[in-house]
Amino acid sequence: MPRAAGDGAALSKQILTEAATWLMELHEGPLDSRQREQLAQWRRRSDEHERAWQKATALLGKFNELPPAAATTLKTVARPQRRTAITTLVALLVAGPAGWLAYRHAPWPLAGNARTASTGTGERRTLALDDGSRLTLNTDSAVDIGFDRARRVIHLRRGEILIDTARDIARPPRPFVVEVREGAIRALGTRFTVRQFDGRSHVAVFAGAVAVNPSDTGSAEAIIPAGRQAAFSRSRVDTPIAADEAATAWRQGMLIVDRMPMSRFVAELDRYRPGTLLCDPAVAGLSVSGAFPLADIDSTLSLLEQTHPVRMRYITRFWARVGPA
């Protein structure tokens, strides 16, 4: 006879763990007839079991809101990682909506042979990936790298990356995917950059093409060919515009600009300099063109004073403002 339990009563951790385990089984693939009957019997054991399952299925419906790496992880994790994922699911079931909102953008463990890489302010780093592709991280960037039998995945957590993809020798060839908060970018034999902004991502293609899939549009993809670039949100891809190869000059330690507004130019330099670099609104509209070294931003700022009607004002060593001369 099922035990009565109020809707607001706390559920036991053991029952929530069992619900999370069933949730993992369901997410890994369709249940066979024996498993379906076992799940039905488990749900009938008590009102607590049924309430735990209702919470679990509500959570399952929210998996579509996760970064794509999360769902892939739940399907492919090894047994030790699976236990960690179940523990995480139990914590989410206990925490409820507030815990889900806090966790939806948090990192999920990547499946398979996963590792992380990052750079500090002003640093750049190039990595040779296991498949022969090359990954270059710009200043203050971080990625998770997860290659398994099914996919080659780069999860961009922050910053900007340049990728030169290699032909996969695995059979069948595995797709090469870059995941960002707004969706996923699938490489189609290509060389491209991806940059993460607040609420938007930007992709520029210099060889081949990419397929952009915003997270809220289902399976709809937008193809961006070589020589084009576009920003995208979770719901749409902007109309592609021309891409400039000079935008990748940061890989060689240079910033090349052509008639860039001073406000944007200063914001770009700020990415490579410790502290805070601001632009006075009085000079924000000035146009900047040229090639500027990124290894020594203060020297670049001094050059800027010599070539434009601006003056540097240093409030502290790390807090500076570009203002009118």
Determine the pLDDT at residue 102. 47
Percent of the chain with pLDDT over 70: 78
Q: Rounded mean pLDDT of 115-130?
A: 92
- 3-state SS, the chain, equals CCCCCCCCCCCCHHHHHHHHHHHHHHHHCCCCHHHHHHHHHHHCCCHHHHHHHHHHHHHHHHHHHCCHHHHHHHHHCCHHHHHHHHHHHHHHHHHCHHHHHHHCCCCCCCCCEEEEEECCCCCCEEEECCCCCEEEECCCCEEEEEECCCCEEEEEEECEEEEECCCCCCCCCCCEEEEECCEEEEEEEEEEEEEECCCCEEEEEEEEEEEEEEHHHCCCCEEEECCEEEEECCCCECCCEECCHHHHHHHHCEEEEEEEEHHHHHHHHHCCCCCEEEECHHHCCCEEEEEEECCCHHHHHHHHHHHCCEEEEECCCCEEEEEEC
The per-residue pLDDT of the chain, averaged, comes to: 83
Percent of the chain with pLDDT over 90: 53
Same fold, 113-245 and 253-324: no
State yes or no: cis peptide before 274, omega within 30 of 0.
Answer: no
pLDDT tier, 127 (very low <50, low <70, confident <90, very high otherwise): very high
pLDDT tier, 243 (very low <50, low <70, confident <90, very high otherwise): very high
Determine the pLDDT at residue 241. 97
Distance, in Å, from the CA atom of 111 to the CA atom of 150, rounded to the nearest integer, reads: 10
Q: Which residue has the higher pLDDT, 281 or 66?
A: 281
Q: Which residues contact 307 (CB under 8 A, 6 or more apart)?
A: 290
pTM here is 0.66
- Can you give the residue ranges of every domain in the chain? 13-103, 113-245, 253-324
Q: Note the CATH number of domain 113-245.
A: 2.60.120.1440
Distance, in Å, from the CA atom of 261 to the CA atom of 287, rounded to the nearest integer, reads: 5
Q: Rounded mean pLDDT of 153-182?
A: 94
Q: What are the pLDDT digits (tens) for 304-325?
A: 999 999 999 998 888 999 999 9
CATH fold for the domain made of 253-324: Phage tail protein beta-alpha-beta fold (3.55.50)
Determine the pLDDT at residue 1. 38
pLDDT at residue 166 tops 70: yes
Q: Rounded mean pLDDT of 148-175?
A: 92
Determine the pLDDT at residue 96. 57
